[in-house]
Amino acid sequence: MVNQKKCLKKNTKTKSVKKIKSKKQTVKKAKEPLRTAKTKEKIIGIVTHYFPKVSAGVVKLKASLAVGDNIKIKGHTTDFTQTVTSMQINHIPIKKAKKGQEIGLLVNSRVRKNDLVYKI
C-alpha cells in the first residue's frame, strides 16, 4: 500500500498543468498637457456639440476667451486655426466669455464632440 500511495503522489506531481500567462496590454490614456512645447498653446475648452446648418459649435470653457483671439481646434479628424469672430450665450452675442461657461462659437470648419480648443 505504501508503494501505491507513493506512485499516486508521484503521478499527481508529474501531471502538472502548465499555465499560459498572457501579456497584459495596458493602454494608458495620455494626459493632455496644458501647454504644448512647440507653439505655447493652452487648452481653453472642449467641444460638446456642433450645429452644421449654422456652422457653430458649443464649447465648454476651461479658461476665458474673447472675440479676436486666435484659437486652434484639434481632434481625431479635426485640425484648423481661426480667429474668434462671433460668440453667443443663449442667442445673445458677447465679447468675452469666462471660465465654466458654455458658449456658441462660429467656426470655419466642422468640429466634433470632444475636440479640444486651444488658445494660440
All domains in the chain, ordered by first residue: 35-119 (2.40.30.10)
pLDDT at 5: 56
pLDDT at 106: 96
Q: What is the chain's pLDDT, residue by residue, as a tens digit (120 residues)?
A: 556 555 555 555 555 555 555 555 555 555 555 555 566 789 999 999 999 999 999 999 999 999 999 999 999 999 999 999 999 999 999 999 999 999 999 999 999 999 999 999
Contact, 32 vs 46, CB < 8 A?
no
Q: How far is CA 90 from CA 27, 94, 105, in A?
A: 40, 10, 12
Plot region of 29 (φ>0 → left; ψ -120 to 50 → alpha; else → beta): beta
E strand or H helix at 88: strand 87-89
Residue type, 81: T
